[in-house]
Amino acid sequence: MADLKSFLLSVSKDAKLRDQFRKDPRGVMSQHGLSEADQQTLQSGDPERIRAAIGGDKSAFIVIFVYG
């Protein structure tokens, strides 16, 4: 099972994965093994909730939204 921080970093670095994620976020998150809780967190779009889920690491959070 992937953790949310690793997933976000992968999406930020991989243009093909990012495009797939934009088209089918739920499917891509499931394929990459994100837990249901992490999927719900990411789909919430709540920056504070996402930041808390990745351990308060602002760098990982910023990367996905800058490139996304």
Which pTM was predicted? Answer: 0.77
Tokens linked to 38: 């992490």
The predicted-structure confidence for 28-51, as pLDDT tens digits, reads as follows 999 999 999 999 999 888 888 888
Break the chain into its structural domains and give their ranges: 4-67
Note the pLDDT of residue 66.
40
Decide if pLDDT at 17 tops 90. yes
Backbone torsions φ then ψ of 26, nearest 5 degrees: -65, -45
Q: Taking a C-beta distance cutoff of 8 angstroms, is the pair 41, 4 a contact?
A: yes
